[in-house]
């Protein structure tokens, strides 16, 4: 069973997002574990990142992006940051 670890930046970002949107974000983050269990191909809303973000993935939820990495050995999804499309990669 996958566990989820949120960085301080990710937790701080969630506090600045409306609670209705936070509920959607948390449900979609939970779905990452389901996707990993099924060993499916990358789905449209999940992409591998490149360049300075090599080794990370992004989850798209409308204009919100969730940056995460995967520790398969320990079954941990590490959520590094959450933010709007225009600000997240800065």
Q: Confidence band (pLDDT; 50, 70, 90) for 86?
A: confident
Q: Confidence band (pLDDT; 50, 70, 90) for 42?
A: low
Say yes or no to pLDDT of 68 above 90: yes
Tens of pLDDT along 4-30?
Answer: 999 999 999 999 999 999 999 999 999
Short-list 6, 4, 1, 88, CA closest to 52: 88
What is the CA angle 17-26-85, rounded to 5?
A: 50
Q: What pTM does this model have?
A: 0.89
- The pLDDT mean for the chain works out to 91
């Amino acid at each position: 069973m996958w566990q989820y670890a949120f960085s301080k930046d990710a937790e701080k970002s969630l506090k600045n997002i409306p609670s209705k949107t936070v509920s959607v974000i948390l449900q979609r983050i939970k779905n990452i574990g389901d996707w990993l269990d099924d060993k499916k191909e990358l789905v449209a809303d999940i992409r591998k990142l490149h360049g300075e973000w090599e080794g990370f993935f992004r989850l798209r939820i409308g204009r919100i992006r969730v940056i995460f990495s995967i520790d398969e050995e320990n079954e941990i999804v590490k959520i590094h940051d959450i933010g709007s499309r225009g600000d997240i990669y800065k």
